[in-house]
Amino acid sequence: MRFIALYAPSSVQRVIDFVKTVFLFEDYQPIIIKPIGAAAQIGVPEAYKIAYREKKSLIILPEITDIIEVLGINKVYYLDKRGEEIEIHNLKKSDIAIVINGGDREPSKKELLNINIVKVRDADPSLPPVGLTAITLYLLSRDTMQHNLF
């Protein structure tokens, strides 16, 4: 299974838009990590409604490390402009998780232990979170979509 996570969102609309965006790509499961304020109180319940209507699931976790500990995913990538630049095809493995910062709060050094900090060549990490999510998922699924067209 492939996961894409939004870290520490504080906006209700950002949570909703993130979940709707991820649901457009069949091979990915959305995760919300450490939602803050209104995103936790209103955004997460709204996102669950969307997931229920779409007959899909949504995972909420308190820490990035729970991706490893709870879900058993060993390859976790945090997209950041300070990360090592990689090609998108390096993320085309099964059983991975990609984490995108969803707000103003950065993960602590402790949370990023055992997490690969990367910058995808064709996806600018300074984009707004939902835009970065959409571009990253499009780039990851582009080859699959091309194969399905022919």
Q: Look at residue 94 in the predicted model and tell me its pLDDT.
A: 79
**Total domains, the chain:** 1
pLDDT > 70? residue 19: yes
Percent of the chain with pLDDT over 70: 95
Segment 92-125, tens digit of pLDDT: 877 899 999 998 789 999 999 999 999 999 898 8
Of 146, 38, 9, 119, residue with least CA distance to 30: 9
| DSSP-assigned beta bridge partners for residue 28 | 2
| DSSP-assigned beta bridge partners for residue 120 | 86
- Rounded Cα distance, 30 and 98, in Å: 10
Q: What's the residue count for the chain?
A: 150
Q: Look at residue 40 in the predicted model and tell me its pLDDT.
A: 95
| DSSP-assigned beta bridge partners for residue 99 | 5, 78
Choose the weakest-confidence range: 1-5, 6-10, 41-45.
1-5
Any idea which residue has 């870290």 for tokens? 7
Torsion angle in degrees (nearest 10) through CA of 110, 111, 112, 114: 90
Could you write out the DSSP letters of every residue in 106-124?
PPPTTTTTT-EEEEETTS-
Segment 20-37, tens digit of pLDDT: 999 999 889 999 999 999
Segment 50-84, tens digit of pLDDT: 999 999 999 999 999 999 999 999 999 999 999 99
CATH of the domain at 73: 3.40.1280.10
Q: Look at residue 89 in the predicted model and tell me its pLDDT.
A: 86
The residue segments making up the domain with residue 115 are: 2-149
